[in-house]
Structure 1
Amino acid sequence: MWAVENTRGPREDNRRTKGRAAAHLSGAAKAVAIALALSVGVSGAPQQVQAQSYSFSSVAIEGNTRIEAGTILSYAGIARGQPVSAAELNDAYQRLVASGLFEEVEIIPQGSRLVIKVVEYPTVNRISFEGNSRIKDEDLLPLIKSESRRVFNPRLAEQDAQLISEAYGVQGRIAARVTPKVIRRSDNRIDLVFEIFEGGVAEIERIGFVGNNAYSDRRLRRVLDTKQAGLLRAIIRRDTFVEDRIEFDKQLLRDFYASRGYVDFRITGVNSELSQERDGFFVTFNVEEGQQFRVGEVSVDSDLPEVNVDLFRSAVKLKSGKVYSPALVESEIARLERLAIREGLNFVRVEPRINRNERDLTLDVELLLTRGERIFVERIDIEGNTTTLDRVVRRQFSTVEGDPFNPRAIRESAERIRALGYFADAQVNAREGSTPQQVVVEVDVEEQPTGSLSFGGSYSTTNGFGAAIGFSERNFLGRGQQLGLSINTSSSARAYSFSFAEPAFLARDVTFGVGLSYNETDNLAADYDTTSGLFSPSFEFPVSENGRLQLRYGLSYSDISLNTGTAVGGIVTAEAAEGERFDSYLGYTYSFDTRRAGLNPNSGVLLEFGQDFAGLGGDTTFIKSTVRAVAQTRVLSEEVTLRASVEAGALNYSQGEGRVTDRFLMGPNVMRGFEYGGIGPREINKATGVDDPLGGNYFAVARFEAEFPLGLPEEYGISGGLFYDVGSVWGLSSATKSNATGSVVSDGFDARHVVGFSIFWDSAIGPLRLNFSEPLKKRSFDKALNFDLTISTQF
């Protein structure tokens, strides 16, 4: 055993401080350099040091107060009685320094005695941050590795400073500087302070492209998640330069071109140049588009004798001549694999084989049905869902435990989980199970808020002051249910609504919903007030790949009361005299929406047809039918969006008569250029001042519009549009017209025509639309509306 002399105790004030860390941690590096030069404490020429050797029978440890002498000896690694060269003494010194426990080390040979003098690193008393406002202390602490009540390590502190700088870099503050400093305290303790200069946000001043011919810079910039700095740079954070976001943008560009047939597209580089003021970036994407390919021959083959190839060929919908897209091929593969499962063919996989035809720029698609590996799903593990129930996540899988493993089905399930909107992040992976023939599907999710509570106020000269309270929850009690409640009140109107939806009723792909609403108007400036209520439960379920069917029941209540002192025509007066009315009806709506498949990024078609049949109790018997058709496409290198829509409705009574609250009254949301009830049948009596919009039993309108860029920087989010609307409201029964005390005008079909210009603004409060319209054809009694501001919506 070593004879160890251990001198422990407080350090004297006059001790040597050679190599001691200064307030700035960069001094530690200087200490290492000095100590290396003096590490063995031997004077003389270098060649003499190299030739000298030592043998020690005892060692003395000096300066240690917290670390045991045996620990120091184990780091030194010098054996008793063995010859030790100067180089080996230097190695021992290096090991002690590398331990990270000492800020100063000296090894001094004294004959057969070795003296090791150390100065221990202090312990960290507390850690603090100074100069930070954009990132709070509680968010910075989890980033660093240094800890209070632990030995101070200067290298670790420098790494912490780098981690903090990277956190600011994610926010676009690349000029941020972080300097770790120490403040010495008594009892060999220090306070570790990170002094932070946050700097400004480095915004992206310009995004450009080199090598693009098929699509303009403006069109490609709309693809990217990163945006150029614009008018709202103080609010929008997608104009901040973040390196990881640039990588995501590169993938978005690849997907954009691949979905449009450019299979050879590639990004050769991205140049990010920092401005001289270090507050802005100029980002340039260098691309090679290649040629656009279309689908050539499409064939289906199989190497499995039990497969009826003709059955699978008849199921293929992909046709020659379409612009090639990997999504189209994936859709066909999924369709054929689902067909194989329905036919009882397990472990059948569809392998796509793509053959290029350079001469005519087509890609032949061969779908080969082959036998896949016999692998089963052992179980599905779900983690991270602290609020959402397991069954909400599990029902997004078409696969259950014990089913054959299908990687494509698992990927589709992962996309459905992410599309729920309940999770900030959702990762789905498969690993080998208890045997090589089994896999475990692991789902790791991170919850995010799914509810909102809103408060608002309003004022208008018609309705006075108003207040609005709204509550919505998309994942009620973690069950995936939707709940909504809203209250809107003013001095002349009150509206209350409640809605609830269960998207997986009885564990099926059936949405059960129920809605309740109650509305009152009490406007002294109007001819009459109304009271209405509605209770409507419904079921909705898919009937095809793009089609869904809703079945519903409705019980409605309505009442009309006249205001004293106003001029009201005979028709409205007679309808108000009927008093309260209850309508009970059954209805359905069928919708066909090609956007559900999402296979064509440039076009979409929506078809809706619905009917309500009243007479199941209630005061009236009627059939109300509505139809809507909408189509959209992009032209001129996708710079211009064309939309066309047709909407119509019919209301036919066999018992009772419709009232003004039941008939169709078009407003600017249906046909632009006219007020609500501004066209259609009216009762007019100039002598008494009566001018009552009555609505009609029929309406039809066609809308055509084009949306295009205005030449403004796209970061402003402003584009323009031209529109043309044509439509009419007409039709009153003879019984209704017999109550008139004035003239009933515009009872027949009389089409109005409107043209106008729109400004679309993707503002901070939402997408807004400003319509400036001019009727080309109208009647003298119509109520024109030359300007309106609405929330812009897509069909």
Structure 2
Amino acid sequence: MEKLVNSWIRQTELFRSPSKLLLLLIFITQIAFPQDASLGQGKEYTLAGISVTGLQSYNEQTVKTFTGLTVGQRLTIPGEEIANVIKKLWKLDLFSDVEIYQTKIEGEKIWLELSIRERPTLTDVTVYGVKKRKIEDIINETDLKKGKKLTESLIANTRNYLVNKFRKQGYLNASATIVTKPDTSAVNARSMVINVKKGEKVKISAIHFEGNEKLSDKLLRSGKGLKKTKKKKFYRFWKKSKYIEADYEEDLKNIVDTYAERGYRDARILSDTFVKVDENNIELRLKLEEGDRYYFGNIDFVGNSVYSDRQLRQILGIQKGDPYNGVLLKERIADQSKPDAQDITNQYQNNGYLFSQINPVEVSAINDTIDFEIRIIEGKETFLDHIVVEGNDKTNDHVIYRSLRTTPGQKYSKDAIVRTIRELGQLGFFDAEQIAPDIQNPNPNTGTVDIKYNLVESGSSQIELQGGVGGGGFIGTLGLSFNNFSIQNIFDGKSYQPVPMGDGQTFSLRLQASRTFRVYSLNFSEPWLGGKKPVGFNLSFQRTQQFASNFRNGRIDVDKSRGFSITGISAGLSKRLQWPDDYFSISHGVSYQYYDFNNFNNGLFNFGNGSSNSLTYTLGIARSSQGPSRIFPISGSNFNLTAKFTPPYSLFSGKDFKAIRDEIEEVSLELLEIGPNDPAAPALGARLEALEEERFKLLEFFKIKFKGDWYSRITGKLVLRTNAEFGFLGNYNKDIGDVPFERFFVGGDGLGNFTLDGRDVIQLRGYENSSLTPFSTNPITGRLEQDGGTIYNKFSMELRYPFTLKPTASIYGLAFLEAGNSFNNFSEFNPFQLKRSAGMGLRIFMPAFGLLGIDFGYGFDQDNNPNSIGVSGWQTHFIIGQQF
């Protein structure tokens, strides 16, 4: 049997084993002493047959197909056909050895044998030295899938990838060992074991600068220079001192920018090296060349007709004689970091000039002064042609299109696109992080452009589950909220999936209960009444039941035969305003509550039998520009001012409320003197109840509330939320006094947001629920009870950082500072007498369940309960439900 000359075309594979070197010597001998002269000269044969040896997992016919050779084919041997066959088989990367032999020759017929060695197949990968949750990512990143053919290059590439991966994370001493072993469960199979040794993260023990005379080491090491590369200090826990190559490369650019911002435009880094101190520490050494400081000279605008030089200079904000700042100049021309920045490019694009081009050109540099021309090509005024929305599988088109700030025929405006993204995110029907406008078909000749908004639906229906301790026991809430409801399809059985959806309406049912109370509510709202203008309509019904209860021997006893109920209905309209800007809205609401008492008495009111009525009108003014997501806003603000009024019935009722008040004070004093166990107490108590019922038969009051939230991005994803709140409950007639309802209860998790007697429950973490509310002694029962405050104020600061903002779950952590208090009346009000707290927490938002969270707060002061001793200390608060 004779090996063909062409079988040796295998490049470096030939020299990987001693046996192949021996075959090479045999090959050379055959060339030097040929047995068949015609073979060396190249003779044409007819392929009479081909066989394949060395098969393990492939069948013979498959390999023959790979070669492209067919019986009856004419071949020149030696010749290019055999060489090409071998090259083709090598390129498949399926074989570790390929050889072709002649087995027989008869006349012009030749029989060949293809000898192959199959590469082993990967069956399993085991990774040590990394966290279990990271193993799957590593396997996917290195493409180590089951069935992959094992090659030396695959192993080498995997090893290099892992080492580089961890070195980029600061593990400069990282290493990876990869071994394979036979897997007897399959033919020609091997399993792989990867052992990663990351070692310790290499820290930066020192950073040295050389050549910097104009800017100090401190400035260059600060956040303005080395933002992410920091040297090791014992007190730095918020920013680690590990060496990350990518961060370091970015910081080198920041150093150059730091010089450029101060006029040193020629500054550069001559060299940067790091010196290994030991296995876990390095020193960075940077050699700088600062150059001279430059200043802005004349700045002329060329090509502008839409805006005057004066208008553009005002936007540019750079004056002749200012220190040269290349970074600032770029930002004022086009700030790429802020889509709604106040720069010249946005000024043109917000006024329809999509195709405008603004280029700053340095025209002269004399001594230390640089003159510029801002060359402007305004282009043709651009108008929107087609507006397309995709991805709304559940939400109807009209709900989206009415929220768009971009319409066909309108001038192109980048600001309108940014505003549209914010408002689509505020709807709550789509993932705000994935709302992506796609600018399509820009045509500078016709001055038209198309926009396609790509949307991803997120869950809009929610199951609300709340649980917490308050009001003497466990408070539970079960609610269903359909935030993208469609009432017009309520009788269409095909639309129930599980309920009619897609018209942007809200329909919610809610049940809240504890051993001492129950609240039932139903709410419906339509944000676009009539479908043509942003006029919102709201209708709600609510019923509250409160049962009599007593604390005895550490337990609460509830008597459901005694209690009171509140039945209420309300309706409201709201409208978006155009002045002062279109973030403002105004709302009007009318509501009626009926209070019914059945042998029930507590500290809020002094009559246990009878009824009371409340008819109110509420005026609200709000401004909401927070966004782009309502779950995790990063910018903008949200404030709400409401004023709630009842008619001043006492002005025309003809009752002598002064006489009623005087008698109430006399009876109350007498009850307090004799005590609840005196035989005369029941009669005096009954008289007091009758007087109180007469005083509050028709409730009259006014209630002013303000709440403001501001969101500011500090850096990256770190967001600061600041909050201020104020509430005041007043009366028209001092002889009637403040109503016993509609009070403010401050402190705790804010979980008790049930409409029990119209109260407002104000969250202030670090204190027990409602513990920052005034206390008083009930003249009938003699017990210490909470009256609720008539005035309160609260301030808070909250740092938020998101861990993930995916549609399936948004998770962020927070740290907070809070302070607030409530008071009996305005004369006692002291805005600086605040109860302070601090703490941290976690929030998880899942579309089906709303917001889930936990807070750990520390109260630095004593609460308002006279029986409390010492500061409040640590409190744990659970947030379960739709609260933002």
Q: Bin the TM-score by the shorter chain.
A: 0.5 to 0.7
2:574 maps to which of 539, 549, 552: 539
Further displaced range: 260-269 or 35-44 = 260-269
Give the CA RMSD over aligned residues. 7.4
Task: Give 1:704 deviation, angstroms.
Answer: 8.8
Q: Is the 8 A contact 2:701 2:731 kept in 1?
A: yes
Q: How does 1:356-375 map to 2 (within 5 A)?
A: 371-373=378-380
- 1:572 aligned partner, one-letter code: F
2:824 maps to which of 729, 732, 756: 729
Distance 1:443 1:407 in 2: 14
Q: How does 1:186-201 map to 2 (within 5 A)?
A: 190=187, 195=192
Task: Give 1:524 deviation, angstroms.
Answer: 0.5
1:55 maps to which of 35, 39, 43: 43
Task: Give 1:106 deviation, angstroms.
Answer: 2.0
Does the C-alpha gap of structure 1 residues 387 and 423 become closer, same or farther in structure 2, counting only changes over 3 Å? Answer: farther
Q: Is the 8 A contact 1:57 1:113 kept in 2?
A: yes
Q: How does 1:586-735 map to 2 (within 5 A)?
A: 586-591=618-623, 608-615=640-647, 620=699, 622-627=701-706, 645=724, 647-653=726-732, 659-664=739-744, 669=762, 676=770, 682=776, 685=779, 689=782, 691=784, 693-695=786-788, 699=791, 701=793, 728-730=823-825
- 1:117 aligned partner, one-letter code: E
1:381-433 Cα deviation digits (max 9, x unpaired)? 55555555556665665334455555665566567667766266454433447
Partner of 1:463: 472
Distance 1:162 1:509 in 2: 60
1:549 maps to which of 585, 597, 619: 585
Distance 1:452 1:281 in 2: 52
Does the C-alpha gap of structure 1 residues 32 and 464 become closer, same or farther in structure 2, counting only changes over 3 Å? Answer: farther
Distance 1:580 1:270 in 2: 80
1:342-394 Cα deviation digits (max 9, x unpaired)? xxxx7685858699999xx9999999986334665554555555555556665
Partner of 1:117: 113
Task: Give 1:61 deviation, angstroms.
Answer: 1.1
Partner of 2:405: 398
Distance 2:465 2:109 in 1: 81
Q: Is the 8 A contact 2:705 2:726 kept in 1?
A: yes
- 2:825 aligned partner, one-letter code: W
Partner of 1:583: 615
- 1:612 aligned partner, one-letter code: K
Task: Give 1:615 deviation, angstroms.
Answer: 4.8
Distance 2:469 2:409 in 1: 61
Does the C-alpha gap of structure 1 residues 42 and 144 become closer, same or farther in structure 2, counting only changes over 3 Å? Answer: same
Partner of 1:430: 439
Distance 1:647 1:487 in 2: 28
2:516 maps to which of 482, 492, 509: 492
Q: Is the 8 A contact 1:760 1:792 kept in 2?
A: no
Q: Is the 8 A contact 1:143 1:164 kept in 2?
A: yes
Distance 2:540 2:272 in 1: 52
Distance 1:452 1:166 in 2: 46
Distance 2:480 2:286 in 1: 47
Task: Give 1:337 deviation, angstroms.
Answer: 5.1
* 3-state secondary structure, aligned to 1:330: coil
Task: Give 1:57 deviation, angstroms.
Answer: 0.8
Q: Is the 8 A contact 1:104 1:118 kept in 2?
A: no
Distance 1:586 1:482 in 2: 21
Task: Give 1:661 deviation, angstroms.
Answer: 1.4
- 1:760 aligned partner, one-letter code: G
Task: Give 1:84 deviation, angstroms.
Answer: 3.0
List alignment gaps of at least 5 residues for structure 2. 1-6, 54-58, 210-216, 486-500, 552-557, 650-696, 749-761, 801-811, 844-852
* 3-state secondary structure, aligned to 2:68: helix
Partner of 2:29: 44
Residues 1:572 and 2:599 aligned together: no
* 3-state secondary structure, aligned to 2:61: coil
Does the C-alpha gap of structure 1 residues 125 and 515 become closer, same or farther in structure 2, counting only changes over 3 Å? Answer: farther
Distance 2:506 2:205 in 1: 43
* 3-state secondary structure, aligned to 1:524: strand
Distance 2:162 2:275 in 1: 20
- 1:463 aligned partner, one-letter code: G
Residues 1:108 and 2:101 aligned together: yes
- 1:118 aligned partner, one-letter code: L
Does the C-alpha gap of structure 1 residues 449 and 30 become closer, same or farther in structure 2, counting only changes over 3 Å? Answer: farther
1:56-110 Cα deviation digits (max 9, x unpaired)? 413331127443687455379998464636x985554233322345554321246
Partner of 2:681: none
1:286-319 Cα deviation digits (max 9, x unpaired)? 999x9xx9x99999989566x5859978997989
Further displaced range: 30-39 or 266-275 = 266-275
Q: How does 1:61-80 map to 2 (within 5 A)?
A: 61-63=50-52, 65-67=59-61, 71=65, 74=68, 80=74
2:88 maps to which of 72, 91, 95: 95
2:342 maps to which of 331, 338, 362: 331
Task: Give 1:612 deviation, angstroms.
Answer: 2.5
Q: Is the 8 A contact 1:673 1:784 kept in 2?
A: no
What number of residue pairs does the alignment pair up?
A: 704
1:198-222 Cα deviation digits (max 9, x unpaired)? 879999797999698469979999x
Q: How does 1:201-280 map to 2 (within 5 A)?
A: 213=218
1:697-724 Cα deviation digits (max 9, x unpaired)? 5x3647598999xxxxxxx989786x77
Distance 2:621 2:409 in 1: 38
TM (norm. structure 1) is 0.60
Partner of 1:758: 837
1:440-475 Cα deviation digits (max 9, x unpaired)? 545555555566546565557x63345444556666
TM (norm. structure 2) is 0.56
Q: Is the 8 A contact 1:562 1:573 kept in 2?
A: no
Q: Provide the identity percentage.
A: 13
Does the C-alpha gap of structure 1 residues 678 and 727 become closer, same or farther in structure 2, counting only changes over 3 Å? Answer: closer
Q: Is the 8 A contact 2:481 2:507 kept in 1?
A: yes
Task: Give 1:551 deviation, angstroms.
Answer: 0.5
Does the C-alpha gap of structure 1 residues 791 and 658 become closer, same or farther in structure 2, counting only changes over 3 Å? Answer: same
- 1:549 aligned partner, one-letter code: S
Q: Is the 8 A contact 1:769 1:792 kept in 2?
A: no
1:769 maps to which of 857, 865, 880: 857
Q: How does 1:132-151 map to 2 (within 5 A)?
A: 134=133
Does the C-alpha gap of structure 1 residues 308 and 197 become closer, same or farther in structure 2, counting only changes over 3 Å? Answer: closer
* 3-state secondary structure, aligned to 1:659: coil
- 2:473 aligned partner, one-letter code: G
Q: Is the 8 A contact 1:122 1:152 kept in 2?
A: no
Distance 2:24 2:425 in 1: 60
List alignment gaps of at least 5 residues for structure 1. 1-17, 20-27, 709-715, 732-747
* 3-state secondary structure, aligned to 1:649: strand
Does the C-alpha gap of structure 1 residues 249 and 534 become closer, same or farther in structure 2, counting only changes over 3 Å? Answer: farther
Does the C-alpha gap of structure 1 residues 123 and 703 become closer, same or farther in structure 2, counting only changes over 3 Å? Answer: closer
Q: Is the 8 A contact 2:729 2:742 kept in 1?
A: no
Distance 1:42 1:457 in 2: 85
Further displaced range: 211-220 or 417-426 = 211-220
Task: Give 1:771 deviation, angstroms.
Answer: 1.8
Partner of 1:521: 546
Distance 2:126 2:158 in 1: 12
